[in-house]
Structure 1
Amino acid sequence: MFGNMISNMMTKPYQSPLFDSPEAYGLDYENVEFPATDGTILRGWLIKGGTDKVIVESHFGVQCNRGGWSPEGKGPIKPWKEDIKFLRQAKHFVDNGYSFLMYDLRGHGESDLGPKPWVSWGPEEAKDVLGAVDYISGRPEFANASIGLLSICMGSGATTYSYGLEDGMQTRKNVKALVAVQPLLYSCFVDALGMPGFLQRAGAKVTKERLGFDLAEPNFLDHVPNINIPTMVVQNQNDPWTQLDMVNDYYNRLNTTKELKMLDIEKSRFAAYNWVGTNAADVQAWFDKHL
């Protein structure tokens, strides 16, 4: 019983229905669908701005989707009280000449399940990030565009894993810069939560049966040195759900132009997710410099 409960918390798909729309922001957009590199069908919005610079945003996992995060339906104890609307940063970028691709990772929002019908915290979702870049690259209007990756939490993990795959992200020459917001290893997360060892073990047993591997085993830090584009790492230093040593390790393993933007904001992991929308100009500055 405990094993199923813990595993469901961490790997059960479709925990967050889509709650927002570009229409509410007056944005010109297109509903799109495209395949991940393993053929899984992903769905999203292409917010239309300029054609020479495109941001591909990959959201955080489990209780999120391309529109962001909503406290609705998340139980009595909520990590954040208000909607975190990713369309805020989309509007900012589009108003400043970018186009913006927002899509649902597999098992989230309106995208299909993959061959492994559970959330994997990045190893499977890496194929989604690659598919999103390939989709934009294949559209004629973006044939000469520079692509920036805005990758949030599990999106950061998935993006980093994509650099460890055969024919991985480092072969996509039109990808020019990355902003990685709060990359998080599963093992660091459950340790930071203070989850008792017996619960971790019970959940891990069920998850391994579902995914074929223990979520604590894959380590995206091994693939960080393969990242070959300028990278800014954003982290709330007051985030209680991570280990800052891991974030510093991620940053130190980068062998490229880099910046660590350590935020001093509210004591919540979700504060940094919200920060992206309220401080989109700070994020854009990195892409302006490198795209």
Structure 2
Amino acid sequence: MAAIVPPEKLAIIKAQADFWAHSMRSPIVRTPEEYGLKYEDISFPSYDQVALKGWFFPCEGSNKLIICNHPMPMNRYGYPGHLDEFKQLCDFEVNFLPEYKVLHDAGYNVLCYDQRNHGESEEGDGGVAGAGRHEWKDSVGVKRWVDKHPVYSKMTLGLMSRCMGANAQFEAISRYPELFDNVKCIVAPQPVTARYPAEAFCAQLGILDEIDVLEEEIRKLGGWTTTEMGPKPFVPKVHIPTLISQVHDDTWTKPEDVETIFELLGAEQKKLFWIEGTTRRFDGYNYFGEHPEEMLAWYAKYM
């Protein structure tokens, strides 16, 4: 017989379940103009016809293109953790625009987009998030759109796939390997099995003993359990040269998770780069915009 959960704990569990099942939309509060970047607004369909919105940063004279996606619950700009209403996950800003500027100035065209249920893109799957388990359809959609584009289709391709976006990208490649045959390399900051941050959140909230109840509540909302949200079943089929980065002492997860993802990765050319000196996961998302050397070296080697 299932244990009875006190009402005050059940309310916390339900709130956590809603986050995992539905994520949340965060606003785009900066523009490329702030960084001197010329850009075009773009839109295209996902694999299942969800309308996705993004930016394209042209780099004159370049035939190289990097396609970028983002973590949950962010968007193509980043995450406004410096605003009071978004401080529950981190109390500082994640901003991808400096990273786009670095890539642009290094000679790359850059395409970034909001995944379903995030940013300015449409709702998909009834609003249910999957930390990659639904969002792979966006990775397929953008690649098919690029392949049909009169200009982008002629470019040498690389990927910047972050966290949820990395999970999604790995599953997309596993499902449609031939679609990604011409991708030269991937940079994948912080892919994750959602069970690890779920356990960290539950411990902080005093509901770790009820984590199985959390999984049941996520299921009731139509979501994947946190154990099911992760890339490990899919990375063995990924043979594209891949650089994975991870905050080593990240309090949201444990090194063993990303180490296992890395070990399972099918690519012969692969590297795991540890980010040291912080325990804050979201510092890992700002890292390459501030310290681009590893990222630029990987793209330069394979593109």
Normalised by the length of structure 2, the TM-score is 0.88
Amino acid at match of 1:88: P
Amino acid at match of 2:150: P
Amino acid at match of 2:187: V
Change (3 A) 1:142 1:75: closer
What is the SS of the residue equivalent to 1:38? coil
Unmatched 5+ stretches in structure 2: 1-10
Amino acid at match of 1:283: M
Deviation at 1:220, TM superposition (A): 1.7
2:179 aligns with 171
Of 127, 132, 137, which aligns to 1:122? Answer: 132
Distance 1:172 1:76 in 2: 37
Of 64, 88, 91, which aligns to 2:101? Answer: 91
Unmatched 5+ stretches in structure 1: none
Distance 1:94 1:25 in 2: 11
2:192 aligns with 184
Matched, 1:274 2:286: yes
Deviation at 1:248, TM superposition (A): 0.8
Deviation at 1:213, TM superposition (A): 3.6
Amino acid at match of 2:72: G
1:214 aligns with 225
What is the SS of the residue equivalent to 2:16? helix
Deviation at 1:103, TM superposition (A): 0.5
Matched, 1:102 2:112: yes
Distance 2:21 2:223 in 1: 13
Matched, 1:233 2:244: yes
What is the SS of the residue equivalent to 1:121? coil
Matched, 1:60 2:57: no
How big is the alpha-carbon RMSD for the aligned residues of Structure 1 and Structure 2?
1.9
Q: What are the Cα deviations for residues 114-160 of structure 1, in whole angstroms up to 9, with x where unaligned?
A: 12312111110011111122222222112221211111111111111
Distance 2:164 2:153 in 1: 28
Aligned residues: 287
Change (3 A) 1:76 1:137: closer
Amino acid at match of 2:295: V
Q: 8 Å contact 2:21–2:221 — kept in the other structure?
A: no
2:8 aligns with none
Q: 8 Å contact 2:130–2:224 — kept in the other structure?
A: no
Distance 2:86 2:274 in 1: 30
Change (3 A) 1:30 1:169: farther
Of 43, 46, 60, which aligns to 2:56? Answer: 46
Larger Rg: 2
Q: What are the Cα deviations for residues 52-79 of structure 1, in whole angstroms up to 9, with x where unaligned?
A: 11111110002x1110011114456552
Amino acid at match of 2:155: A
Of 247, 261, 265, which aligns to 2:277? Answer: 265
Q: Which moved more, 1:187-196 or 1:137-146?
A: 187-196
Change (3 A) 1:263 1:5: same
Q: Which moved more, 1:177-186 or 1:12-21?
A: 12-21
